[in-house]
Amino acid sequence: MTVTPLTDGAPPSPSPTQSASAAASAPGPHTARPGRRSDGRSPGRRPPLRRQLGAFILRLHFYAGMAVGPFILVAALSGALYALTPTAEEYVYRDLTTVPAVAAPVPLHEQVDAAQRSHPELTVAQVWPAQQPTDSTRVLFDVPADAEGNPLAVFVDPSDARVLGEEATYSSLGELPLRRWVSGLHESLNLGAPGEVYSEFAASWLWIIALGGLWLWWRRVRAARRRGARPARLWLPLRGRGSTPPSAGTPATAEATGGDAAAPAAGTAPAAGTATPVGTRRDTAVRRRGAMNIHAVTGVWLLVAVLGLSATGITWSHFAGDNVNAVVTAMKWKATPIDTELPGPVVPPGHEGHAGHDGHAGHAGHGGDGAHAGHAGHGGAGGDAAATVSPRTVSAQIERVVVAARKAGLTGALTVRPPASPTSTWQVNERWVPWRTTSDAVSVDGRDGGIVDRQDFGDLPLFSRLSAWGIYLHMGIMFGLPLQIALCVVGLGIALIVVQGYRMWWRRRPTRPGSRAGLAGVPGVPSTLPWGAYGCVVVFAVTVGVFLPLVGVSLVVFTVLDAALATARSRRRVRGGARGR
């Protein structure tokens, strides 16, 4: 029997009631089948350990980002500001640091004498002879009343030995008050020792968050390629709003997207070229993927700079920095201090001296003058002891010492330190200034200009050279304004990464009334890790904590928090299943 169709070969159209019933009962790509979870696994079956660990790393990245993010944000913004302060300092203090080009400067000892006459009660600690025709000469005096040992800088015009003015100075880099204030903001929020915990917390976690983010980005790109989707392009992080969304029937799993995918229901994906309605769940997911792409791709671009800033920042910290110094000392990676003892018999000049001024004592803090001078912190005075020779001796010998240093091959801008005791030598080293990549040092007998010892940068241990380069790259000194602009961009980029991370969390946070998600928006919580795995993480945290105490303590806290959230989630599921039965 032939059945005549009601229309042109089309089957009978179902009624609206039939359509709704069929749509509700038909298994779609995201519909759980009887006895199965929505991801296809049996309800009681634990996911593979590899997948659980991947989800745990994602959650750890989230916990660390949420907890450390504010500290990293402050460090990034203050660091971006600090990067520009060397150039800003030159402008703000230009009346002190620069002079009209000088063709025939007066002798250096006359310049030092002029500065000494302005403060006859103080002792000369350092002299910075003018290097360029437009530079002023800087004479630094030890100030006994300063509890932190910061010297006072007197600026002298080399053309006529006229005193231009004076300012307090900080560290052997000669930071003036503007740069010192910004430096203190970056280092400790200008709160002193208690505030240094913030910067150590940020620096200690920054490299871990960065490497974890790199792994998550690589996993996400790999999963996108397996789905046939186009991952975000490294060179166009702002183009579009994320990866090509999966088509209907090709769901994006939590593993593929790092637990962040919110795939639209089957049949709701708009046709190609159709704008996604604003405010819908799909629009929220698309915007979140856009934030994720900016967050991830910017992080990949800045990874090398981030790791370098983190490593050098750790060496300047309190707890971890002490551990670094202990390791460096134990491994004998420090440079041997330059010899500062005068040869032969010395006639006492009739006054006592302070012993132990070596000025080239290796890597000890932030802001050391050259690779040889103690690395003494943003705000330290560089570890310089006050010279105790008379002003007359300083005036009589300084010209001879500078000439000897130049003949010994020191061509850069110089720091000249008078003897620390009657039996000590003068010390001269090249300052770290823009476009300077080495710093040589000599000790000079002021009586006859003889070279007692020398320490060339190329002869230093590899660690000392690497740390010196890292220090002055971090501080924006080595390559002048181009480096300072690059560091400012890096700081703003890190701030952008943090902001986009919080934006991702804000868009994925639960918004339904009565929703319970523990710590709102925690990604990738499929099931509880085995307790043995949690134990291994705690052991790892304790091990890391020996070297990076703030990381170890906080990692234990994050692990306990994760176990508590996962356990609570599991119990809610059990209670929900019992009520369902």
**In three state form, how does the secondary structure of 310-372 look?**
HHHHHHCCCHHHHHHHHHHHHCCCCCCCCCCECCCCCCCCCCCCCCCCCCCCCCCCCCCCCCC
| pLDDT digits 0-9 by tens, 469-478 | 999 999 999 9
Please report whether residue 295 resides in a domain: no
Which of the given ranges, 7-21, 74-88, 330-344, 528-542, has the highest pLDDT on average? 74-88
Domain that holds residue 456: 94-175+335-460
Q: Give me the phi and psi of 225, to 5 degrees please.
A: -70, -35
* Whether the predicted pLDDT of 130 surpasses 90: yes
Q: How many angstroms separate the CA atoms of 552 and 544, rounded? A: 6
pLDDT value at residue 567 = 82
Of all residues in the chain, the percent with pLDDT exceeding 90 is: 56
Residue 34 located in a structural domain: no
Tell whether 155 is covered by a domain: yes
- DSSP letter string, 440-477: -EEEEETTTTEEEEEE-GGGS-HHHHHHHHHHHHHTT-
Tell the residue number behind the tokens 């005193």, with chain if given.
Answer: 163
Q: What are phi and psi of 489, to 5 degrees?
A: -65, -40
Q: What is the pLDDT of residue 404?
A: 98
Of 532, 535, 509, the residue nearest 66 (C-alpha): 509
Structure tokens of 30? 């995201």
Mean pLDDT within 360-373: 40
In a domain, 224, yes or no: no
Judged against a pLDDT cut of 90, whether residue 408 lies above it is answered with yes
Predicted confidence (pLDDT) per residue in 136-167, tens digit: 999 999 999 888 889 999 999 999 999 999 99
- The answer, yes or no, to whether residue 411 has pLDDT greater than 60, is yes
Determine the average pLDDT of the residues in 46-62.
83
In a domain, 321, yes or no: no
What's the pLDDT score for residue 528? 64
d(CA 211, CA 296): 11
Q: What is the pLDDT of residue 509?
A: 76
- What's the pLDDT band for 534 if we cut at 50, 70, 90? confident
- 512 pLDDT above the threshold of 90: no
pLDDT of 225: 85
- What pLDDT score was predicted for residue 291? 82
Greater model confidence, 385 or 342: 342
Q: In the predicted model, is pLDDT for residue 578 greater than 90?
A: no
Q: How far from 194 is each of 119, 508, 528, CA to CA, in Å?
A: 35, 35, 37
d(CA 548, CA 566): 27
In which band, very low, low, confident or very high, does the pLDDT at 571 lie, cut at 50, 70 and 90? Answer: confident
Question: How does residue 53 score in pLDDT terms, banded at 50, 70 and 90?
Answer: confident
pLDDT band at 506 (very low <50, low <70, confident <90, very high): confident
pLDDT at 305: 97
The length of the chain is 581
pLDDT surpasses 80 at 576: no
Which of 420, 422, 428 minimizes the C-alpha distance to 447?
Answer: 422
Planar angle of CA 105, 111, 114, nearest 5 degrees: 140
Report the pLDDT value the prediction gives residue 278, as an integer from 0 to 100. 60
State the chain's mean pLDDT as an integer. 80
Nearest-angstrom CA–CA distance, 2 and 113: 121
For position 229, what pLDDT does the model report?
A: 73
Report pLDDT for 268. Answer: 43
pLDDT of 208-261, one tens digit each? 999 999 999 998 888 888 888 776 566 555 444 444 444 333 333 343 344 444
Among the residue ranges 4-8, 61-65, 233-237, 297-301, the one predicted with the least confidence is: 4-8
> When comparing pLDDT for 118 and 226, which is higher?
118
Q: Say which range, 171-185, 306-320, 442-456, 524-538, has the weakest mean pLDDT.
A: 524-538
Is there a contact between 179 and 89 (Cβ–Cβ < 8 Å)? yes
Q: Is 498 within a domain? A: no
Quickly state the pLDDT bin for 456 (edges 50, 70, 90). Answer: very high
pLDDT in tens, 307-363: 999 999 999 999 999 999 999 999 989 889 999 999 876 655 444 433 333 333 333
The structure's pTM equals 0.79
312 vs 365, higher pLDDT: 312
Closest CA to 299 of 383, 213, 385, 212: 213
pLDDT at 351: 43
Closest CA to 241 of 276, 289, 197, 285: 289
| Residue 26 pLDDT > 60 | no
> Can you give the pLDDT at residue 521?
67
Which whole-number Å values give the CA distances from 102 to 99, 106, 128, 406, 412, in the listed order? 8, 10, 16, 20, 18
Are the C-beta atoms of residues 354 and 449 closer than 8 Å to each other? Answer: no
Greatest mean pLDDT range, 122-126, 516-520, 562-566: 122-126
Per-residue confidence (pLDDT) for residue 353, from 0 to 100:
38
Lowest mean pLDDT, pick from 34-38, 111-115, 434-438: 34-38
pLDDT above 70: residue 46: no
Residue 355, Ramachandran bin (φ over 0: left; ψ between -120 and 50: alpha; else beta): beta
What was the pLDDT predicted at 416?
Answer: 98
Per-residue pLDDT band at 52 (split at 50, 70, 90): confident
In a domain, 366, yes or no: yes
Mean pLDDT of 50-63: 88
Q: How many domains does the chain have?
A: 1
Residue 351 domain flag: yes
pLDDT in the model for residue 103: 93
> Other C-beta atoms within 10 Å of 34: how many?
5
145/45: higher pLDDT: 145
